[in-house]
Structure 1
Amino acid sequence: MLPWSAPLSGRFDEVVFESEVLKDNPLHDPYQRPLWIYLPPGYDEEPERRYPSVYMIQGLTGQLDMWRNRSAFRKNFPELADELFASKEAPPCIIVWVDCWTSYGGSQFVDSPATGRYHTYLCDEIVPWVDAHYRTLPAREHRGIAGKSSGGYGAMITPMLRPDLWGGLATHAGDALFEMCYLPDFRHSIRTLQSRYDGSYEKFWQSFRSRVPFTQSGDEAPMNDWCMAACYSADPDGTVRLPYDLQTGELIPEVWERWLAWDPVRMAPKHAESLRNMKAIYIDAGNRDQYYLDLGARAFYNVLKRLGVNEVFFELFDGTHSAIEYRYPISLKYLAERLAP
């Protein structure tokens, strides 16, 4: 392959979407957000044809233009998606790339008084706008959502919360089984906070924002913990409640339970009927995932099977959490085939 971008067979519309629900968000993050809409080959030549849509959402710290990053000797996902449709290996889809970044790193695609109304932004602003401006098939049976890591988390929970909108999902190493993916890092956060910041998150954020982020070892765990707490356990006034004592690391049960209530493995039984009505569920993870999200993937799959959810693809592949963009066309093909008319 050539080591640079080549012309696409489909095309991208790149717009700036002005959100009403993100105005005055608690972090004063931008309410004007980039939005990419990929139109497959033939879209302009067949003006009567309508298409399924797949929404792509990103992992923690992801911002939209990162989708065009590439690893050495490899194509990025927009190129791989275009190649999939140009080769006619999958029914054509409209793909919508949505930005839900926050200055804490992400939003987990939920409404939170500490970060903003990102679930509402995605479901009640972006989806209707796309349906109004492009020739989608505007029904849940023809609409899917996919992502990796925190994006995979969003792909799991969003259809559970809004089954009226979503008929398919694909999660690549999505955050799940919280005692495995989050809890073990709490001790690293506490040690970093105590050794460098006098046990203070305020001092951590002052340092983090005054220098090049992630230039000190140990930055990742405190940032992740605070972001997740802002999403899962913020009080109505926006106060962020951590699930552990900053001095000893002891769990604070009532706060930890608020986190667990957002765990897809634990959410699934409450949304069993909606999950059984999904047209397509795709789950995968690397069997050497650094964050042990392969365990969460298996746990989510197991609970779906116990609930009698049948339209499920599950695979643990040989790999880690990193550089798995080559897996995305597999899930895209799976969704496209099942969301097509």
Structure 2
Amino acid sequence: MKHIPNSLLLTFIFVLSACTPIATAIQPTQIVSTPTITAPTEVFQPINTIKISAPSLKNNLVGEAAERTIQVYLPPSYGIPDKHFPVVYYLPGYGDSGMIGFNLPDSMDRLVSDGKVNEIIIVVANGMNKLGGSFYTNSPVTGNWEDFIAQDVVGYVDGHFRTLAQAESRGITGHSMGGFGALNIAMHRPDVFGVVYSMSPGLFDENGLTESQMFESERLIQRFIKFEEKLSALPLEEAKTRISSSPDQFTLSYGFAFAPNPDRHPPYFNYPFTEVDGKLVRNDEIWKKWESGFGGIADEVILYKDNLLKLKGIVVDYGEYDEYNWIPKGCIYFGEQLTAAGIPVKVEAYSGSHQSVLGERIRDYMLPFFSAVLKFE
């Protein structure tokens, strides 16, 4: 077995003790030896596409099915009887269904055979709904997507595969909308997930919502108000079918997730602007709900500090040239708030845009991080 360098161990032990976000790159390193692989004693596929029951999504208002498809990658040694593995749960971004730039099983098998990561199970559970994305939050309109991940998916995987069914052996990660979902779920459920690595997550600083693609211009706001007025004039069932015809799908999805109002006529949420005498009027109470979706970080750090301190590692990385310029600002702000509260966090900046080097980040940074920090017994 290859010797594990002390310098590598110190690199990842830093995650548990660091109190200041940094902008230097985590250097990819070899961390384990190539595993000994024996002939499997049971039949399995390296990659499995499985439809599972999703009771957490029942009783939603927009007709989301209470069944979802997940992908489960099994490592080369999975066929060895009685061998159990840690699990990394990957949450794709808005409109995405898989791991961009990283192919399962080939890319992961290569990392294992090259001795760069330990063997782990990877589960891809996308949060795509009829409008593009659920934001992995519980909503009376679209269903309880956080519970779907933390309960339905984890329960199915632990019940059907040889996992190490403990928080210390479960990591959660994702990109963009999924990066936000990973942070949010880990913050709420440290009893389920012990480690989180978030890539280009949707996070707002104090001005993030105003700068976002939902509210960056009066034209966009006025367009949505007019669409909302058209829906209000339609009978209920026709309005429900017309929801998806809006050109502002991201805005609809975000509203469903963070400002839901199931008692209201479609679109089933409260929008923070109205138009009065040709002028836009903002409702500050509703605006705060929209702001606290990707934002509200300072308040959340106070509320969930004990939960965040239970996590074995928190890493956020982002591209310096992200097309959504509010994302780097939000990531930096997130790190500042956690650091000020004494919560260990590593915030990582790299040269790239929103997706340009995502596969490289998964291969060289995210998966080696989990391999070093998750508990393998």
Structure 2 contact 225–274 (Cα < 8 Å) conserved: no
What is the percentage of aligned positions where both structures have the same residue? Answer: 26
Q: Given the alignment of the two structures, is residue 48 of structure 1 paired with residue 82 of structure 2, yes or no?
A: yes
Seen in structure 2, the aligned counterparts of structure 1 residues 334 and 249 have a Cα distance that, compared at 3 Å, is farther
1:133-152 deviations in Å (ceiling 9; x for gaps): 11111111111110111000
Which residue matches 2:6?
A: none
Q: Aligned in 2, Cα 1:227/1:87: closer, same or farther, shift over 3 Å? A: same
1:153 to 174, 180, 185: 180
Question: Which protein has the larger Cα radius of gyration, Structure 1 or Structure 2?
Answer: 2
On the 8 A contact 1:114/1:230 being kept in 2, the answer is: yes
Contact map agreement 1:52 1:142 (CA 8 A) in 2: yes
Q: Does 1:82 align with 2:116?
A: no
* 1:290 correspondence with 2:319: no
Corresponding residue for residue 251 of structure 1: 282
Contact 1:287 1:320 in 2 (8 A): yes
Equivalent residue for 2:34? Answer: none
Which one is further off, 93-102 or 172-181? 172-181
Equivalent residues of 2:167, 2:193 under 8 A apart? yes
Deviates more, 1:90-99 or 1:201-210: 201-210
Q: Which amino acid aligns with 1:55?
A: Y
**Separation in structure 2 between the aligned mates of residue 179 and residue 81 of structure 1, nearest angstrom:** 38
Distance 1:276 1:188, change over 3 A: closer
CA deviation digits over 1:58-108, x for unaligned, max 9? Answer: 11122x3x44x65xxxx5465433322232211211111112211122111
SS of corresponding position for 2:185: helix
Structure having greater relative contact order (Cα 8 Å, sep ≥ 6): 2
- Contact 2:135–2:181 (CA under 8 A) maintained in structure 1: yes
Letter in 1 for 2:323: Q
Any conservation in 2 of the 1:14–1:37 contact (CA below 8 Å)?
A: yes
Larger CA deviation: 244-253 vs 96-105: 244-253
Q: Tell me by how many angstroms 1:307 deviates.
A: 1.9
CA distance in 2, matches of 1:269, 1:19: 32
1:225 aligns with 2:247: no
Provide the C-alpha distance between the structure 1 equivalents of 2:198 and 2:280, rounded to a whole number of angstroms.
Answer: 31
Superposed, 1:74-113 pairs within 5 Å as: 76=103, 79-113=106-140
Given that residues 35 and 99 in structure 1 are in contact (C-alpha distance below 8 angstroms), is that contact kept between their aligned partners in structure 2?
yes
Partner secondary structure for residue 281 of structure 1: strand
- Indicate the larger mover: 164-173 or 299-308: 299-308
Scaled by the length of structure 1, the TM-score of the pair is 0.83
TM value normalised by structure 2: 0.75
Q: Deviations over 1:189-241 (max 9, x none)?
A: 6514646x78224759988956xx9xxxxx4xx22222111100112536211
Matched, 1:280 2:313: yes
**Within 5 A, what are the aligned runs for 1:124-143?**
124-143=151-170
Deviation at residue 336 of structure 1 after TM alignment? 2.0
Match of 1:299 in 2: 333
Distance in 2 (CA, whole Å) between partners of 1:284 and 1:30 is 33
Distance 1:151 1:128 in 2: 20
Which residues of structure 2 form unaligned runs of 5+?
A: 1-36, 38-44, 232-238
Q: Is the Cα contact below 8 Å between 2:130 and 2:244 reproduced in 1?
A: no
CA contact (8 A) 2:169 2:374 kept: yes
1:175–1:181 CA contact under 8 A, matched in 2: no
Q: CA deviation at 1:278?
A: 0.8
**What residue in structure 2 maps to residue 3 of structure 1?**
none
Aligned residues: 314
Q: CA deviation at 1:160?
A: 1.2
Quote the residue 2:21 is aligned against.
none
What's 1:328 paired with?
362
Structure 1 residue 276: Cα displacement = 1.4
In structure 1, runs of 5+ residues without a counterpart are 1-8, 214-218
In structure 2, C-alpha distance between the alignment counterparts of 1:203 and 1:193, rounded to whole Å? 14
Question: d(CA) in 1 for partners of 2:175 and 2:280?
Answer: 29
